[in-house]
Chains A and B, each alone.
Chain A
C-alpha cells in the first residue's frame, strides 16, 4: 500500500497540518494499525522533495508537526495516475484497493471506474491462467486453479464493493 499516494490524496481536499493528515489517515484507513508520526514526517519530506507537495505555512511556535502541506499540480497528476493504474493481481491486495476506492470517493472521482479497471486487470490474469490450465497437465491445472480461485475471491469483493459504492460514499464523506 502506498502511504505516499494516500496522504497525497487526502491533501487533495485542501491543505492540512501533518498531524491532521495522520488523524485523517488513521480514521479512514488506519483501523487497527495507526500511522506513526515519524512515518508521516518522512513520507511528507519525500513528497516535498519530489515536488508533489509544498509547504503552505508554518504555525507559530511550531515544530515539524506544525507545518501545513498543500498538494501541487504534479501531486494531483500523480494521484490520478496511481488511481487509474490497476494493481497487479496479487493475493491480499484488498487494503490497497479499499484505500483507492475511498480516496476516489473522497476526491469525487469515479470509484466504479477503479473497480472496473481492476476487474479487467484481474480478468487478464485469469485468462492467462485459464489458458495455461487448458494447455497444461494436471499439476498445471491444479496450480492455476488455486491462483484462479484467489483472483476470483478478489473479483467477488470488487463486485460486492461496486454494489455498495453509494453506501460507502455516504460513510466516508460524512
Chain B
C-alpha cells in the first residue's frame, strides 16, 4: 500500500501475536488530520490491538507505524508515553476515570501530566466540560455521575490537551443509543473543530456512521473500504 499523501498517522503491514493467538496479520491503516475513521469488525478481529498499536501503547511484532513523519516503532517507551501525553487523547469504554478524583480533576489530569499548573489545567478542563455540557459535574466524583455523563467527562479529558489524534475504543459501548449518539456527536464535533483526527473502534453501525470512512478488520487483516469501492 502506498502512503496516501498528507497522512498524519499510517501503519503498514502490522503483525502482532499474543502467544499462539494472532491479533494482527498484516494490517494497514492511514488517517488524515481532522478525519474520523471507524475501525470495524467482529469481536476478536484485532480492532483494539490495531488501536493500541497505532497509539503506541502496544508494540507490534513487525511492521511500521509513522506519526507525523516519525517512526513510532523506533521510539522508546518514554518517548511513546510522552507522545501519548502530548499529541494523543484517549476514550475507553469504561473504567478510565480515576474514582477518587473529581470530574474536573480527571479532565485536568492529562494537562497536569504534561506539566501544567493545577490552576491552569483545571481552568482549561472546565472550558472543555462546558463544551461537552458536563460543567455542572465538576465537583462530583465519577461514582456519582451517570454513564453518559462519565463518558462525556472522558471525552473532555481526551480533548483537553488539544491532541492531534483521539483514540476512542468503543466509547459508547456501555451507553444506551441516545446517550451514545450524543457522546459521538460531541466527540466528533469537538474533534473536527479542533482539526483532530479520530480513530474510532466500534462494532456499532450507528456509531460508525459518525465517521468519515471506515476500515474493516477481519482475522487480523484490515480492509480500507474507501479504496475498494
Q: Which residues of A contact B (CB under 8 A)?
A: 86, 112, 116-117, 119-123, 126-127, 129-130, 134, 148, 151-152, 155-156, 159, 162-163
Tell me which residues across on chain B come within 8 A of A163, comparing CB atoms: 42
When chains A and B are docked, how far (Å) is the Cα of A52 from the Cα of B228? 27
Q: B222 to nearest A CB, angstroms?
A: 11
Please tell me if the beta carbons of A129 and B42 are within 8 angstroms of each other in the complex.
Answer: no
Residue pairs across A and B with Cβ atoms less than 8 A apart, 25 shown, are: A86-B229, A116-B216, A116-B218, A116-B223, A116-B225, A117-B228, A120-B214, A120-B226, A120-B228, A120-B229, A122-B205, A123-B208, A123-B214, A126-B205, A126-B206, A126-B208, A127-B209, A127-B210, A129-B209, A130-B206, A148-B206, A148-B209, A151-B205, A152-B206, A159-B42
Tell me which residues across on chain A come within 8 A of B214, comparing CB atoms: 120, 123
With A127-B209, A134-B185, A152-B206 in contact, do A117 and B42 touch (Cβ < 8 Å)? no
- Cross-chain contact of A120 among B203, B210, B225 (Cβ < 8 A): B225
With A112-B218, A123-B214, A127-B211 in contact, do A117 and B229 touch (Cβ < 8 Å)? yes
When chains A and B are docked, how far (Å) is the Cα of A72 from the Cα of B198? 48
Known: A130-B210, A152-B205, A162-B42. 20 other contacts (CB 8 A): A112-B218, A116-B218, A116-B225, A119-B40, A119-B225, A120-B214, A120-B225, A120-B229, A123-B38, A123-B205, A123-B209, A123-B225, A127-B209, A127-B210, A127-B211, A129-B209, A148-B209, A151-B205, A155-B205, A163-B42
Q: A92 to nearest B CB, angstroms?
A: 17
When chains A and B are docked, how far (Å) is the Cα of A122 from the Cα of B228? 15
- Interface size range on B against A: 20 to 34
Tell me which residues across on chain B come within 8 A of A155, comparing CB atoms: 205
When chains A and B are docked, how far (Å) is the Cα of A129 from the Cα of B208? 12
Q: A168 to nearest B CB, angstroms?
A: 15
Q: How many A-B residue pairs have CB under 8 A?
A: 53
- Cross-chain contact of A119 among B185, B206, B211, B216 (Cβ < 8 A): B216
When chains A and B are docked, how far (Å) is the Cα of A14 from the Cα of B189? 55
| B186-229 residues at the A interface, CB under 8 angstroms | 203, 205-206, 208-212, 214, 216, 218, 223, 225-226, 228-229
When chains A and B are docked, how far (Å) is the Cα of A151 from the Cα of B208? 12
When chains A and B are docked, how far (Å) is the Cα of A151 from the Cα of B209? 11
* Nearest residue, chain A, Cβ from B229: A120
Tell me which residues across on chain A come within 8 A of B211, comparing CB atoms: 123, 127
Q: A164 to nearest B CB, angstroms?
A: 11
When chains A and B are docked, how far (Å) is the Cα of A134 from the Cα of B192? 14
Q: A130 to nearest B CB, angstroms?
A: 4
* Nearest residue, chain A, Cβ from B42: A163
When chains A and B are docked, how far (Å) is the Cα of A163 from the Cα of B203? 13
Tell me which residues across on chain B come within 8 A of A134, comparing CB atoms: 185
When chains A and B are docked, how far (Å) is the Cα of A122 from the Cα of B40? 13
**Which 5 pairs from chain A and chain B are nearest by CB?**
A126-B209, A120-B225, A155-B205, A130-B209, A152-B205
* Nearest residue, chain B, Cβ from A163: B42
When chains A and B are docked, how far (Å) is the Cα of A129 from the Cα of B182? 15
| B17-54 residues at the A interface, CB under 8 angstroms | 38, 40, 42
Tell me which residues across on chain B come within 8 A of A129, comparing CB atoms: 209
Q: B11 to nearest A CB, angstroms?
A: 19
Tell me which residues across on chain A come within 8 A of B223, comparing CB atoms: 116
Most chain B CB atoms below 10 A, which of A86, A112, A130, A162: A130
Tell me which residues across on chain B come within 8 A of A116, comparing CB atoms: 216, 218, 223, 225, 228
When chains A and B are docked, how far (Å) is the Cα of A120 from the Cα of B40? 11
Tell me which residues across on chain B come within 8 A of A126, comparing CB atoms: 205-206, 208-209
When chains A and B are docked, how far (Å) is the Cα of A19 from the Cα of B211? 49
Q: B226 to nearest A CB, angstroms?
A: 8
